[in-house]
Structure 1
Amino acid sequence: MTPDADDRAPHPTEELAANLSRSATPPANDHARTRISGAFTVVEVTGEIDLATEVFLAEHLNAAALRPEADVLVDLRRAAFFDCSGLRALCRAESRAREHGGRLRVVSDAPRIRRLLLGAGLLGRFPLLPGIPGEDG
Structure 2
Amino acid sequence: MSESFDIQVKVDNFYLGAQSDPASDRYVFAYTITIENHSAEQVKLLKRYWLITDANGKQAEVFGDGVVGEQPVLAPGASYSYTSGAVLETPVGTMQGHYEMLSSSQQPFKAAIPVFRLATPNILN
TM-score, normalised by the number of residues in structure 2:
0.26
* Structure 1 or 2: more helix by fraction: 1
* Structure 1 or 2: more strand by fraction: 2
Larger of the two Rg values belongs to structure: 2
TM-score, normalised by the number of residues in structure 1:
0.25
Question: Which one has more relative contact order, counting CA pairs under 8 Å at least 6 apart?
Answer: 2
